[in-house]
Amino acid sequence: MTMGGVRLVEHPDKQSLADAVGARLVTALVDAQSRRGVARLVLTGGSMGSAVLASAAATPGRSAVDWTRVEVWWGDERYLAAGDPDRNDVQNDEAGLSGLGLVPRNVHRVAGPDLSASAEESAAAYAGTLADVDAFDVVLLGVGPDGHVASLFPGHPAQLTEGDTVAVHDSPKPPPTRVSLTASRLCRSRQVWFLVAGRDKAGAVTDGLELAAADRSSAALVMGTEATLWLVDRDAAEGVTA
């Protein structure tokens, strides 16, 4: 289904969604490397983000990617010390990211309180890693039932911040302190993929597709310059009409 340049792709269940996105991601990275030499990828946390990485790692075609020429960022990170099991990067590493053969200097992690004096300092350092990056090739984003993406929550002061990164305090979801890419920076992406599973997120999918107001949906603020895909399971697509 295509709606105003945005496409919805429905899958039967969460696992088939993860497997399809994992294969799609490998293809997109190969394509980016063939066009520009380097593939630039933004990852998402949560169970869906880790499931996609696990599927990509198990995809036979993964060997077609030159993983030494893949650069990785995260859409957001919890402001926790390195190695904390609640960090997105730790969860992604455990799901298979660490076994792909990435070059450590190409994996741009967000500094936690063990390596920075404040979330603001961490956000500024993270922005520095983007200084020479004109655009991401693929951005993966989970979507919360409340319509948030990365750590941009509807109605929160950080949601409409300009620049590349933002320190988030008093997050509606724990932990309260986070670092996030901004909506404007996420929009500097060739492809944006929203990964959504579960009936509890059906309303957020509808709001995103219908470009709901910012106080209802942060997902509606983010679009790719070449493609915006809502990759969802059947439950998350409930109620979506053509």
**pLDDT at site 23:** 97
pLDDT band with cut points at 50, 70 and 90 for residue 4 = very low
Asked whether residue 162 carries a pLDDT value surpassing 90, the answer given is yes
Asked whether residue 178 carries a pLDDT value surpassing 50, the answer given is yes
Asked whether residue 3 carries a pLDDT value surpassing 70, the answer given is no
Torsion angle (degrees, nearest 10) of CA 139, 4, 237, 60: -40
Name the burial class of residue 6, with classes exposed (0-12), middle (13-18) and buried (19+) by CB atoms within 10 angstroms of its CB: buried
Asked whether residue 138 carries a pLDDT value surpassing 70, the answer given is yes
Name the burial class of residue 92, with classes exposed (0-12), middle (13-18) and buried (19+) by CB atoms within 10 angstroms of its CB: buried
**pLDDT at site 229:** 98
Asked whether residue 241 carries a pLDDT value surpassing 90, the answer given is no
Query: How many whole angstroms separate alpha carbon 169 and alpha carbon 179?
Result: 9
**Sequence-ordered strand ranges (E) for the chain:** 2-3, 6-11, 39-43, 70-74, 76-78, 136-142, 165-168, 178-181, 189-196, 227-233
Phi/psi-derived region of residue 73, left when phi > 0, alpha when psi is between -120 and 50, beta in every other case = beta
Query: How many whole angstroms separate alpha carbon 18 and alpha carbon 11?
Result: 9
Asked whether residue 234 carries a pLDDT value surpassing 80, the answer given is yes
Asked whether residue 2 carries a pLDDT value surpassing 90, the answer given is no
The 8-class DSSP code of residue 149 comes to: B
CA nearest 110: which of 129, 132, 136? 129
Peptide bond into 157 cis (omega under 30): no
For the entire predicted model, the pTM comes to 0.96
Domains of the chain listed by start with CATH number:
2-233 (3.40.50.1360)
